[in-house]
Amino acid sequence: MPRPNCGTHIPSGTSSTVTIVVGTVGTVFSLAGAAASVMEGVAAGSTTFPLLAAAVAGIAVFVTVIYFAVERCNQNPKGERGCMAGVIETITPAFTGTTLDNGLPFASQHDRVDVVVKKDYWDLIDAQSDFVFCSQADQSPMVPCFYYNPAVCNAGIGGSIGAGVGVVGGLLIAAAVVAAIGCATWILCLVALIVAVLIVVAAAIIGAMTGGQIGRAATSQPGPMSTGSEPQALQVGDYVTEQGNLVNYGDLDNALVFYFVQTTTLHGHSFNSPSFSHTDPDQNLMPDACPVAMPG
């Protein structure tokens, strides 16, 4: 069986969350007719338009936070039931994937386990994965496996509430500032507009960050666990069989991933150290727990 090419494997067709968010925010501004209306208002010297622009900007932030919360917490994304087995290469807990995860917990990803899969499952990756992750050992294909973490969803809920409160509070402060600056001239009106937008956006972001942290802190995080009568915390080097929903995930260049893992069978632990080659589970994980296809 040929090894799937690492990196870009098939031209991608699914948009990432960031791309969708940018489009959504753009739609908010378009629907509001912000650009033309604000410039006309500035020229007319009306204090209404700086606050309108600030409100639109605040709503855009609010919509962005809500979108992340909804997208991250869809436990039934469109996909199909699948099964693969191999050895765990890396484990990335929620809120640690990027440098922004701690600051913007509502945008964090769920717990991620990367598994170097057995050669038996290369055909599935080769046929369906637009991007292939590989181990450093010998470019053995890996499949990212996401485990649902309720703290991510509660961070999204808290962030959404915080963003909403921030927008309202920011608008109240912005109204007072705009009234103080006034719109006697178009320059003063433009300054009032910029200051109002900055105040509301900052208040919305701070509210989202604070609410997200509260939601995250209020939720226990067990981490990726095996299933069965005696669940165990997963570790790098564990032999596992993963079963769950397989999707092409836009945030990972349309790589084939488990989103989410539904059952994890633990088969023991490798005597080797990462990075792993597929030859390790090929030789030592026999048999795995994936269902055997019946002939005919």
Distance of alpha carbon 23 from alpha carbon 30, whole angstroms? 10
For the segment 19-40, the average pLDDT, to the nearest whole number, is 51
- Domains of the chain, residue spans: 17-72+154-217, 81-149+222-284
Query: What pLDDT is recorded for position 296?
Result: 38
User: What does the chain come to in residues?
Assistant: 296
Nearest to 281 by CA among 81, 89, 132, 7: 89
pLDDT for 89 beyond 90: yes
The percent helix, strand, coil of the chain (3-state, each to 5) is: 45, 20, 30
Q: What is the pLDDT of residues 122-150, one digit of tens each?
A: 999 999 999 999 999 899 999 999 999 99
Contacts of 52 (CB under 8 A, 6+ apart): 32, 34, 37, 38, 41
> What is the pLDDT averaged over residues 187-213?
93
DSSP state of 108: P
What is the H or E stretch that residue 207 is in? helix 186-217
Write the pLDDT tens digit of every residue in 216-269: 999 988 899 999 888 999 999 999 999 999 999 988 999 999 999 999 999 999
Q: What is the pLDDT of residue 26?
A: 55
Q: How confident is the model at residue 294 (pLDDT cuts 50, 70, 90)?
A: very low
Question: Which residue would you say has higher pLDDT here, 20 or 60?
Answer: 60
| Residue 85: how many other CB atoms lie within 10 Å | 24
Peptide bond just before 287 cis, omega within 30 deg: yes
* In the chain, % of residues over pLDDT 70: 85
Average pLDDT over the chain, rounded to whole? 86
Contact between 16 and 109 (Cβ < 8 Å):
no
User: Pairing between strand 131-134 and 80-92?
Assistant: unpaired
Under 8 Å between Cβ of 75 and 35: no
pLDDT tier at 19, thresholds 50, 70, 90: low
Whole-model pTM: value is 0.82
